[in-house]
Amino acid sequence: MVNRQIALLRKQGIYNFILSKFRKIIFTYNILKHYPKQKNKWEAIKNKYKGERVFLIGNGPSLNETPLYLLKNEKIMCFNRFHLMLEKVSWTPDFYTIVDNLVLDDLLNEFENVLDNAKEIFIPAVHIQGDVYVNRIDKNNPKVNWFRHKLFGSGFSTKLPYVFGGGTVIFEGFQILKYLGFSEIVMIGVDMNYKIHKTVRVTKKNSNNIQSLLDDDPNHFDPRYFGKGKKYHQPETYIVKNILSNLEKLSKITDKLGIKIINAGYNSNVEYFPKVNFMDFLNLGKNECLLLFDDTINSRTIYKNLEGLKSDSVFVTEDSLMNLQLSVNYFADFTFGKKHIKKNIFTHVCFGPFEDKLFFVSRDNLFKTQKEIY
């Protein structure tokens, strides 16, 4: 133990070593003072979904290539600002998890979008950085489950509310889903192909704490995700390597844990879990896909179904797009259209893909399904 502390001191330097110890003292104090008693609640949800499968959805750009509307009848866990995606689908997630303190700080301003769009929400009562969230959100809200991080060691906890961090919110997500009893976890949108976000400012000296200056987030499905004014952590190379290392370690103990993790995402750099084709895995017939797409169109737009939308839309190619008015609906071949999903997010919402087509519906033709926050 002494040798380990000496090694940490040499690695971190005196200032950071003392700071880390001080933070642990503050964290422990805040836990003792503020952590809510939820023992009965955690016992009630343990193995509630024993033997079932669940989709764990990251927030990578590949979600724009994924027909998420097909997941209406599945159990789903989402994270952070996924609620931006909900204008494109007819379902809401079952589980919502938020971990990062900078993300939580921002999300508190739009937290009703999380509360309204999930059955169960999982948040750290006290963040390891010191923030006390249990006093900033109604601690007695029946949807909110307060977990707490283990301060020492690393690994995979099966004894919630205690969890280990892993550099990414999905790591806590895996632990929660295991505790809930799921035996098969299907990942999508966990791309792990991060780019350095350049149009930002550093908010804390000598750190990777940043604030975006423009709505041009390059690392998520929506440029507004970490858009103008949003704070988060720059995806530095060492952070990405740490995340991948923890996922690799997890892949080696899934049999022991009694869970199967499958990667059904497009363009994912996570190679440690078996990969499958999303459409082949769902194995839905053509008519089933059409019914689910029609359901999405009917619930999110002024049109009853795809045929109604098509009759009020124009098919575009790269040349014809330049002449369109902002209020016009249009659809395009997938290969061409996917280039415009993020470009046109403020004027159009993209639905699909369906039969290799993407459908761009003018925001004038949407139902108002959530609070406008942009």
User: pLDDT at residue 50 above 50?
Assistant: yes
Q: What's the pLDDT tens digit per position in 68-89?
A: 999 999 999 999 999 999 999 9
User: pLDDT at residue 18 above 80?
Assistant: no
Mean pLDDT across the chain: 90
User: pLDDT at residue 4 above 70?
Assistant: no
User: pLDDT at residue 146 above 50?
Assistant: yes
Residue 116 burial class via C-beta count within 10 angstroms: exposed 0-12, middle 13-18, buried 19 and up:
middle
Give residue 3's pLDDT: 55
Q: Are 64 and 349 in contact (CB under 8 A)?
A: no
Residues 6+ apart with CB under 8 A from 87: 300, 349, 366, 369, 370
Radius of gyration of the chain (CA): 22
pTM of the model: 0.91
User: pLDDT at residue 372 above 90?
Assistant: no
Q: What's the pLDDT tens digit per position in 309-327?
A: 999 999 998 767 666 667 8
DSSP structure string for 69-128: GGGTTS-EEEETTGGGGGGG-S---SEEE---HHHHHHHGGGTHHHHTT-SEEEEESB-T
Q: What's the pLDDT tens digit per position in 219-266?
A: 999 999 999 999 999 999 999 999 999 999 999 999 999 999 999 999
Give residue 99's pLDDT: 94
Which structure tokens are listed for 314? 């124009």
Give residue 194's pLDDT: 94
Give residue 369's pLDDT: 53
Report, as an integer, the average pLDDT of 174-182: 98
Give residue 371's pLDDT: 44
Q: Are 67 and 284 in contact (CB under 8 A)?
A: no
Residue 312 burial class via C-beta count within 10 angstroms: exposed 0-12, middle 13-18, buried 19 and up:
middle
Which structure tokens are listed for 25? 């003292």
Tally the C-alpha atoms within 13 A of residue 197's C-alpha that lie toward its C-beta.
29
Tell me the percentage of the chain whose pLDDT exceeds 70.
90
Domain locations along the chain: 1-33, 35-281, 286-365
Q: What's the pLDDT tens digit per position in 284-302?
A: 999 999 999 999 999 999 9
User: pLDDT at residue 1 above 60?
Assistant: no
Q: In 3-state terms, the chain is what percent helix, strand and coil (to 5)?
A: 40, 20, 45
